[in-house]
Amino acid sequence: MDKTYGSRAFGFLLAAGIGFGTMGFARDACAHDPYTNWMRPDTGGSCCNDQDCRQATARFNGNSWEVMLEGKWVDVPPGRVLDPKKAENPDGMHHVCVSPQQHIYCFMPGEAKF
C-alpha cells in the first residue's frame, strides 16, 4: 500500500469516527428535547434539567396517578400532572421528570390504549 492511500484511508476513518461520535451526542440531546418545554403546573418552572426526564411505568388508581420508581409505586402529586393538551407528549407513553431523591417535578400521562 502506498503512503497516499494509507493517509487517505486514515483520514476517512478519523472523520467517520468523529462524525459517528458527534451523532451520539446529537441523538441524546434530541431525545431530551420534548422535555425542555415542559413547565411545572405548580410553580411554572421548568420540569427538566436535561437529565431527569424519561419514560415511566404508571397507573391510575381511580383517584390519582402512581409511577414506578426503583421498583416501588410512588404517588404523583396532583399539581405535578401535565395537561397533554398544553404540553407535547413525544410518543404517547407515560413520562416522568424526577430527581435522584425521587422528588417528582412533572408527570405526563400517556394516551389510553383500548
- CA 94 to CA 113: how far, in whole Å? 12
For the chain, the residue count is 114
- CA 107 vs CA 3, 21, 70, 89: distances in Å: 58, 32, 16, 11
8 A C-beta contact, residue 86 and residue 60 = no
For 61-85, the pLDDT digits (tens) are: 999 999 999 999 999 998 999 988 8
What residue numbers bound the domain in which 13 lies? 1-114
d(CA 100, CA 108): 18
pLDDT in tens, 37-61: 888 888 888 888 777 889 999 999 9
Give residue 3's pLDDT band: very low, low, confident or very high (50, 70, 90): low
Q: Which cell is 15 given? A: 472523520
Q: How many domains does the chain have?
A: 1
